[in-house]
Amino acid sequence: MTIQAVTVRIFERRAEPALLLAVALHALLVSVAQPLPGHAWLTGGAYLTGQLVCLIVAAAAWRGAHPAQRRLLSRFTLALGALWLGDLITLSFELRGQAIPALSVADALYAGYYLLLFGALLRLTRLRLRSLRTLAMTLDSLIVMTILGTVAWTFLLSRPVPLHPAGAAYVTLDLALIAVGLLALRQQRLSVPVALICAGLALIVGGDLHYALVGGYASGNRADFLYLWGTALQALGLWQRREQSVRGVQWRPPRPVRVWLAAFPYLAGALTCAALLVSSPTPVTLWGAALTFLLVLLRQGTVLQENHLLARKLRHSAAELERRGSQLRFQTRHDALTGLPNRAEFEEQLRRALTGPVAVMFIDLDGFKDVNDTFGHPVGDELLRLVTARLQTHLPARATLARVGGDEFTLVLPGADEAQAVHAARRLLGSLSDPLDVAGLTLPVSASIGVSLAPRDGADITTLQRRADTAMYHAKRSGRRQVQVFTPALDDQRRDRFAVEAALRRALTGHEFTLHYQPQLRGARLESVEALLRWTSPTLGPVTPGRFIPVAEQCGLILPLGRWVRERACEQAAAWHHQGRPLRVAVNVSPLEFAQPDFVPHVHHLLERLDLPAHLLELEVTEGVLVQDLTGTATKLRALRALGVRISVDDFGVQHASLSALMALPADVLKLDRSFLSGHDGLGGVHAAGPQVLRAVHTLGRELNLDVLAEGVETPEQHALLRDLGFEYMQGFLFAPAMPADELDAWRAVRGSVSEPAQPTLLLE
């Protein structure tokens, strides 16, 4: 620690005791030195020493003050310096036995003291100009100053002793200081340093009053006590003020005190009025009273203006609260993105409409998740806003459209029957027929709509919403862009779906699945088998693949289920291979499985773990996989072909893959869908395929260097037709049903025609 820092620390600890010691020494000398000869030197010297200590403390506070306080403390310090110099000159006249002039250099220094102190107090008030509160506080101070001035001048002028001119001037300046001091005291939060400075100012005012009343100055009189103690309190306030911006003790006067301060000008005016009534007023009293009443009237005007502003603020606050309340109520009942009613508001509107017939619609956008995943959520949000605008322009009268989820909307149409509801729903679908321009993109949009009707389909909100959702779900499964009205059969279908899903989850861990194998023949020779999944549930009984496979695909269970099928089929193929009876096994692969990034590595790992030759595994991918992602599909198929796995295109002719896609993708087998033979297209209509179509498909496969497998051969007539057209590779119940592995072994033994499968043929890709 440096010597300067040590000095500062010691001075900080000694400043307040030094002030107390200085004023105590002066008081002691005044008390004991009065009868002694030359006492003026002792009392005057003690007085000047005490004032000098106050000046040094103030200067030290100025020097070590926080930067925010230095300008204020500098004015106070300069004022105390002017006061000390004025006292030094005045005391020099007395000590030399000379009469103090009526006007001297000391009076000029005293005037500088008042001016500097006046400026410092104004800065201490921190008043804002052009403020009504500042005007009110100024009027309060002027009222007090006028009343005190009137009383003081009335008293001074009524005395027989001549009034000292300098004393009269100091009293007048004191009145101005009182007014400014009151402004400082009327702050919302009063600090301890401000209170000390104002208290010191009050003592100095008392000294000036004593000086004016006595009519002169003499060392050691009561005025010295008041001046020195007042200066000491000001120096102490400045010392504590130096760090006010860092650590300041704030004090808020109690409410009764603040009330009395506010009422004081009016009480003083009332006392002045009473004094005028009971006494003989002098001209000074009359003028002072008149000025007081004028100031009180002006103050009352500010009160009226304050009340007016307060009332206006209250009205504005009430209006703002009402606006924010309305905004909050709107936000709690409406969707932030589209501005449509949310679920709570929709249910309230539906509750009101249930007094009569009402239609409820559940609207779900088709493929909206793909938009979010591909282009990002900002594009998806803008698409929702544009869809909302389209739907609103085609809303029926009295209809309420709400957004209840990400891409889910609901609509309530009071008083509508089934025909009106279906017509309105088709109008809404028609509004989405044209693509939307979003962020420089042209995006097609469609929706699926489910409709429920009250009271036919339900009389409560929950039932109507659930059944409209059920109808929408069926519309989406039926090909999208559809309107579906709820029927009890749809509810049964959805309950069955949930029952199947719950049973599926139990079946995955309950060993309820088995694999059956259906032979695939090339002429009379067994070429391969197709692994087909069979499920017998303890609660549902035998469940057909057409019933549980779509549910598994929708709920994501197709991934663990497909992995289980693939592993069991490969294990069986490996067992046959190790027994010396190799047989190729074809396994179906769902589009969701094929899209997984670990699909090819899993197949590779499975072949290595089971030591299974790759040509004994055939993976059947549907035609839809080929058209979804041509580049990604080709990459995976080539990777599988590089392992030696055979690739089969299943259900050919159903999803209409382009010939260019078939030519670009590596494959080994083209499986002709059973609808080409059964006379149905799988959608409920009769297929018009004849021998010419079958011959064309067979020729196409041969030209693409693909085996063509006809599945679903059930009658001798179908077998004869296919044989005449050149088909050799067939599968169907005419030859053998799907059977467990042990039954297949017995079937192969009975036929006595087990032959080695053809080795894989290298095809040009």
Identify whether the C-beta of residue 270 lies closer than 8 Å to the C-beta of residue 93.
no
Identify whether the C-beta of residue 187 lies closer than 8 Å to the C-beta of residue 329.
no
418 and 471, same domain (yes or no) = yes
Q: Is residue 370 a part of any domain in this protein?
A: yes
Tell me what pLDDT residue 268 has: 65
611 and 661, same domain (yes or no) = yes
Tell me what pLDDT residue 661 has: 61
Identify whether the C-beta of residue 375 lies closer than 8 Å to the C-beta of residue 483.
no
Give the chain's count of helices (H) and strands (E): 27, 18
386 and 513, same domain (yes or no) = no
User: Which pairs count as long-range contacts for 38-47, CB under 8 Å and 24+ apart, including other chains?
Assistant: 39/220, 40/94, 40/95, 40/219, 40/220, 41/95, 43/219, 43/220, 43/224, 44/91, 44/94, 44/95, 44/219, 44/220, 46/22, 47/87, 47/91, 47/219, 47/224, 47/227, 47/228
Q: Is residue 151 a part of any domain in this protein?
A: no
* H or E stretch covering 14: helix 3-32
Tell me what pLDDT residue 254 has: 64
480 and 571, same domain (yes or no) = no
Which residues on adjacent β-strands are paired with residue 442? 437
Q: Which two tokens stand for residue 252?
A: 């808020």
CA distances (Å), origin 212, targets 4, 8, 13, 152, 337: 46, 41, 38, 10, 79
449 and 512, same domain (yes or no) = no
Q: Say whether 36 sits in a helix, a strand or coil.
A: coil
Measured CA to CA, the distance from residue 253 to residue 379 in angstroms comes to: 60
Tell me what pLDDT residue 1 has: 43
Measured CA to CA, the distance from residue 110 to residue 204 in angstroms comes to: 12
724-764 pLDDT tens trace: 888 999 999 999 999 999 999 999 988 864 444 444 333 32
Which amino acid is it at 764?
L
Q: Is residue 394 a part of any domain in this protein?
A: yes
Q: What angle do CA 744, 745, 751 make, to 5 degrees?
A: 85
Q: Is residue 134 a part of any domain in this protein?
A: no
Write the CATH number for 448. Answer: 3.30.70.270
510 and 382, same domain (yes or no) = no
732 and 646, same domain (yes or no) = yes
Name the one residue in this structure whose structure tokens are 């282009």.
375
Measured CA to CA, the distance from residue 217 to residue 120 in angstroms comes to: 27
Tell me what pLDDT residue 681 has: 41
Sequence-separated (6 or more) residues with CB below 8 Å from residue 553: 590, 592
567 and 511, same domain (yes or no) = yes
Tell me what pLDDT residue 216 has: 56
Q: In which residue ranges of the chain is pLDDT below 50?
A: 1-10, 188, 246-250, 680-688, 753-765
563 and 417, same domain (yes or no) = no
Domain hosting residue 33, numbered range: 11-126+187-252
Q: Is residue 257 a part of any domain in this protein?
A: no
Please give the tally of structural domains in the chain: 3
Tell me what pLDDT residue 685 has: 36
DSSP letter for each residue of 305-366: HHHHHHHHHHHHHHHHHHHHHHHHHHHHHB-TTT--B-HHHHHHHHHHHTTS-EEEEEEEET
Q: Say whether 367 sits in a helix, a strand or coil.
A: coil
Q: Which two tokens stand for residue 596?
A: 């997984």
Q: Is residue 461 a part of any domain in this protein?
A: yes
Tell me what pLDDT residue 765 has: 29
Measured CA to CA, the distance from residue 57 to residue 386 in angstroms comes to: 75
Using alpha carbons only, how large is the chain's radius of gyration in Å? 52
Q: Is residue 290 a part of any domain in this protein?
A: no
> Of 486, 516, 534, which residue constitutes the final position of a domain?
486
Sequence-separated (6 or more) residues with CB below 8 Å from residue 376: none
458 and 590, same domain (yes or no) = no
Q: How many CA atoms lie within 13 A of 95 on its CB side?
A: 14
Q: Which two tokens stand for residue 214?
A: 């006595």
Tell me what pLDDT residue 610 has: 94
Identify whether the C-beta of residue 47 lies closer than 8 Å to the C-beta of residue 228.
yes
Identify whether the C-beta of residue 490 lies closer than 8 Å to the C-beta of residue 471.
yes
635 and 697, same domain (yes or no) = yes
Which amino acid is it at 283?
P
Measured CA to CA, the distance from residue 145 to residue 212 in angstroms comes to: 17
pTM: 0.52
Which residues on adjacent β-strands are paired with residue 334? 341
386 and 504, same domain (yes or no) = no
Which residues on adjacent β-strands are paired with residue 359? 413, 453
Q: Is residue 279 a part of any domain in this protein?
A: no
Tell me what pLDDT residue 252 has: 57
> Of 461, 486, 511, which residue constitutes the final position of a domain?
486
Whether the link from the prior residue into 283 is cis, omega within 30° of 0, is no
